[in-house]
Amino acid sequence: MTSRSQQQLSVLIMSTLAFTVCFAVWMMFAVIGIPIKKTLDLNETQFGLLIATPVLTGSLIRLPLGMWTDKFGGRIVFFVLMLATVGPIWLMEFATEYWHFLTIGLFVGLAGGSFSVGIAYCARWYEKSRQGMAMGVFGAGNSGAAVTKLVAPAIVLAYGWTMVPQVYAAAMLVTAILFWLFTYDDPAHKVPAHVTVAEQLQALKDPVVWKYCQYYSIVFGGYVGLSLWMTKYYVSEYGFDLKTAALLAACFSLPGGVLRAVGGWMSDKWGAHRVTWWVLWVSWVCLFIMSYPQTAFTVQTVSGPQTYHIYLSPEIFTALLFTVGVAFAFGKASVFKYISDEYPHNIGVISGIVGLIGGLGGFLLPIMFGALVDLTGVRSSAFMLMYGVVWVSLIWMYTTEVRKLDHLGKPAIAADDME
């Protein structure tokens, strides 16, 4: 008979693999959207809507999926969800009109809802002292965004963009079968049958939950938004080809996914509050620098006019982007450490709510990025917007956590958690 520790490891490995594939599918338009944009002659706002459409359904479905996970168990919900996406992914190759892509993209986006299922499923298999680590390892499946940037461009260049949905549909089907074969059920992980939907949704009235939603809207919503946008940004801003642009964009997506496990360990060791606080500050500084547009100005000197240029070279920009990716990876883990500490008995519902709002951030940001470029003509306006969102999170954390610790006479950043 399989031991408990072996079951834990098998569940964690297979859930992480499944989430990686789901996330790669969810981010598919980040690459194939570029040739589609050229074929359909889309403007920046239309492109932003195209790549963000799957994120919408993947976000909205997270709350009901989290509730179903609490009621029926993560294994069956995860398996059915993966099977439900195979058909829409495969149908993508037959789309020819803009509305075709938007409609099918809504169904493909269901794959993004896998997070609220897997995070609760994995967390319940581990004791509280190791939940941050377990959730961080599972969350490393965000690196599926980097997988898409590394794999999809090669497929596009070799066979055309229509081959990508075919490959991804097959990968999803195989992954679903493997997941079912190598994972386990534990009836003790389900909420009692007498708990109603209305009782589960009482969490929506908790202001602390909404604060965590705000944090997650930047560390996850910002991660999704930039993962979708950065390939296009490198092509437009620096003139790179699709393969090079996708590779450079992976410098953000890969650490933003893989290092989430490290963020989980850090949150177990130092607490969710401390990690989240420093994540927001590092992101705030980097985004401020990245917000500055390429500028040329002329100064009248004693020897005549002198023109100066201020800009971020691709190397400096990528280094800053990498730093933001690392910070977001730690932040995604620390926010869910807050949740496992505060809401151990209904983690599925709370993770569904927080994941929904964070995912909606990932849906809205690419559309807003495109609209800002169309309105201002300044590509770095995307980072100006995100800088503002981080500023809101910092103010909210300071007023509700840091100041309260100060009033208690404790070192603000030395506290593990304060809620």
| pLDDT tens profile 324-338 | 999 998 998 899 888
End-to-end CA distance of the chain: 41
Q: Which sequence spans correspond to the domains of the chain?
A: 4-414
Distance CA 395, CA 339 (A): 20
Distance CA 74, CA 174 (A): 19
C-beta separation of 419 from 342 below 8 A:
yes
The SS3 of residue 292 is coil
- In terms of phi and psi (left: phi > 0; alpha: psi -120 to 50; beta: otherwise), the region of 73 is left
CA gyration radius, the chain: 21
What is 4-414's CATH number, 3.40.190.10, 1.10.1200.10, 1.20.1250.20, 3.40.50.620? Answer: 1.20.1250.20
pLDDT of residue 193: 57
Alpha carbon 108 to its chain centroid, in Å, reads: 16
Q: Quote the pTM value.
A: 0.73
Burial of 131 (0-12, 13-18, 19+ CB in 10 A): buried
Q: Nearest-CA neighbor of 89 among 168, 155, 2?
A: 168
pLDDT of residue 323: 95
pLDDT of residue 13: 95
Angle at the Cα of 404 from the Cα atoms of 269 and 343, rounded to 5 degrees: 50
227: number of Cβ within 10 Å: 31
pLDDT of residue 203: 73
pLDDT of residue 24: 93
Token reading at 141: 């499946």
- Total residue count of the chain as it appears in this document: 419
pLDDT of residue 192: 63
Distance CA 299, CA 284 (A): 30
> What is the pLDDT tens value at each position of the chain, 419 positions in all?
678 888 989 999 999 999 999 999 988 998 999 999 999 999 988 998 998 899 889 888 888 888 888 888 889 999 999 999 999 999 998 999 999 999 999 999 999 889 889 988 988 888 877 877 888 888 888 788 888 988 999 999 999 999 999 999 999 999 999 999 999 987 776 666 556 667 767 777 888 888 999 999 999 899 888 988 998 899 989 999 988 998 898 888 888 777 887 888 898 888 888 999 999 999 999 999 999 888 888 898 888 899 988 889 999 999 999 999 999 989 988 998 888 888 877 777 888 888 888 888 888 898 899 899 999 999 999 999 999 999 999 998 998 887 766 555 554 444 444 33
The DSSP annotation for 128-162 comes to: HHHHHHHHHHHHGGGGHHHHHHHHHHHHHHHH-TT
